Amino acid sequence: MTAERLVVVSNRLPVVLKRSGSDTWQITPGSGGLVTAMGPVLRNRGGMWIGWPGLASEDCPDEESLGRLLTEGGSRSGYALKYVYLDRDEIDRYYYGFANEILWPLFHDLFPQCNFDPVYWEAYEGVNCKFARCVVEHAGKNDYVWVHDYHLILVARELRRMGLGHRIGFFLHVPFPPLDIFLKLPWRFQILEALLEYDLIGFQTVRDRRNFIGCIRALLGYKVKGRGQIGSIIMNDREVHVGAFPISIDFKEFSDLARSGEVADQAWIVHANLPKMQLILGVDRLDYTKGIPHRLLAFDNALTRYPELRRKVTLIQVVVPSRREVEEYEKLKQEIERLVGEINGKYTEVGWSPIHYIFHTLTRTELVAYYRTCEIALITPLKDGMNLVAKEYCASSIEDNGVLILSEFAGAAAQLYQDALLVNPYDRQGVADAIYKAFSMNEEQRRERMRRLRNQIRRHDIIDWVDSFLRAGIAKGLDDFPLTEFFVPRQ
């Protein structure tokens, strides 16, 4: 079979709908790891992205207006956009419920925060069926369907029930838990059996792949062959390939932007406002898996145990708003702000405050300016599938003078461990020691480490990630989805 187009299916479309008047709407590019990763790959290749537009159907433009907006957005991005409508009840039970009150905490080893409400499962099944119907409606017979992340695990199961014979791949962007944690899930058999309806299942790390295979062996009893990056689960009538494919970024895009005059101007402003300081950067979405309170307490510990850091470092902590409607997230925001206030109140002197706190979304230019300017990146999630911020920071450190402090529980640690300073985010003193080590590191060591980090990410960039997944899934690479000079979205 010759693949004609790449069809990406994810919870959200890669765009944001905003009302700009009483009856006027505009569409802007979205953000997030998947958009950052897949946007450059699909651009001008005539593919398709299927997803939810991010608003309840009751709050969306009418179907004709939305279709027109997405056609315009697709023309600008170089690939077609197709939407799945979800009403408020579906969003509450499927997205905020099953996806983010069950799978998200469970897959991040935080099962005490799970709410195993059976109503959520019914909604999850129903919404996955909606996505599958959209795929059947719009995908061509030779397209390769690539489903993404924990929101849509059941899509292949529904597509098979509808008779779709396409080859279908799945990539899990979050970690996969070990057996003793996965067992807590009441729908563990349904989830595993649904995943086995895909032809290729991709994970971020070998550890995640190993955890999944352990669950398959223990709960379903299937045999597994192959080791290393790719293996196969042997079923009665077919094989399902399982692999580790660490996601990456468009290295050249970040490196080139970091060299631009616009970023240079922004970077100068940052350092001019915080002169004679080593700047430490934390950038995180508001989420309890990111370990922001733990990081702040570790920074407090560093200032207490290493007083020579005072007036010499400033932590710039950027928190991107997320899921503000959820009570747990609002409580987390309040805890972060309390800690920032306490630490600044304890150590602030005339002309210096230890923490510069930002709670809003940055533009790409602003973000890269911080990446380029800050001498130390402090990236300490409690658990993370990959964490692309670590890779973006290195790609943007064009002077080779940055130091990456990275949680050993981030997927990126498996690739970057040799030249990052790895830490246990639960170990306040250990993180504090790493901060002091980074602060004290001489210029030659910084440059050697950062050059190796940048070379590693340059070699294994987003194109390499997509290419390796496609070759494993359909024995074809990204070159088999050629760039088109003039792109018109197909209906």
* 78 and 142 co-located in one domain: yes
pLDDT tens for the chain, 491 residues: list them. 444 789 999 999 988 888 776 677 888 777 666 787 777 778 777 789 999 998 888 888 877 788 888 887 767 777 889 999 999 999 999 999 999 999 999 999 999 999 999 999 999 999 999 999 999 999 988 899 999 999 999 999 999 999 998 899 999 999 999 999 999 999 999 999 999 999 999 999 999 999 999 999 999 999 999 776 788 999 988 899 999 999 999 899 999 999 999 999 999 999 899 888 999 999 999 999 999 999 999 999 999 999 999 999 999 999 999 877 778 899 999 999 999 999 999 999 999 999 999 999 999 999 999 999 999 999 999 999 999 999 999 999 999 999 999 999 999 999 999 999 999 999 999 999 999 999 999 999 999 999 999 999 999 998 899 899 999 988 877 777 777 654 444 44
Residue 490 domain flag: no
* 358 and 273 co-located in one domain: yes
* 207 and 284 co-located in one domain: no
Residue 236 domain flag: yes
380, burial (CB in 10 Å: exposed 0-12, middle 13-18, buried 19+):
buried
The crossing angle, in degrees rounded to 10, of helices 327-347 and 292-305 is: 10
Per-residue model confidence (pLDDT) at position 404: 98
Question: Is residue 400 helix, strand or coil?
Answer: coil
* 397 and 414 co-located in one domain: yes
Per-residue model confidence (pLDDT) at position 489: 43
Give the predicted TM-score (pTM) of the model: 0.93
Per-residue model confidence (pLDDT) at position 32: 67
* 195 and 235 co-located in one domain: yes
Task: Provide the residue type at 415 as one letter.
Answer: Q
Residue 183 domain flag: yes
Residue 489 domain flag: no
Per-residue model confidence (pLDDT) at position 246: 95
* 185 and 44 co-located in one domain: yes
> CA torsion sign, 360 to 363 to 368 to 370?
negative
Residue 485 domain flag: no
Per-residue model confidence (pLDDT) at position 327: 83
Number of structural domains found in the chain: 2
CATH number of the domain within which 290 lies: 3.40.50.2000
* 203 and 262 co-located in one domain: no
How many contiguous H segments (helices) and E segments (strands) does the chain have? 19, 17
* 304 and 441 co-located in one domain: yes
* 109 and 233 co-located in one domain: yes
* 429 and 474 co-located in one domain: no
The one catalytic residue among 108, 148, 173, 294: 173
The one catalytic residue among 287, 384, 433, 467: 384
* 390 and 474 co-located in one domain: no
Per-residue model confidence (pLDDT) at position 490: 41
Residue 196 domain flag: yes
Residue 1 domain flag: no
Where are the alpha helices (H) located in 348-461, listed in sequence order? 364-373, 388-396, 413-416, 428-440, 443-459
Secondary structure of 269-334 in the HEC alphabet? HHHHHCCCCEEEEEEEECCHHHCHHHHHHHHHHHHHHCHHHCCCEEEEEEEECCCCCCHHHHHHHH
Q: Which domain covers residue 443, as residue numbers?
A: 251-459
- Indicate the pairing of strand 223-225 with strand 230-234: antiparallel
Instruction: State yes or no: is 384 an active-site residue.
Output: yes
The answer to whether 337 and 301 have CB atoms below 8 angstroms apart is no
Instruction: State yes or no: is 148 an active-site residue.
Output: no
- Output phi, psi for 310, to 5 deg: -65, 140
The separation between CA 318 and the C-alpha centre of its own chain, rounded to angstroms, equals: 16
* pLDDT 10s digits, 18-63: 877 667 788 877 766 678 777 777 877 778 999 999 888 888 887 7
* 423 and 469 co-located in one domain: no
* pLDDT 10s digits, 340-375: 999 999 999 999 999 999 999 999 999 999 999 999
Residue 487 domain flag: no
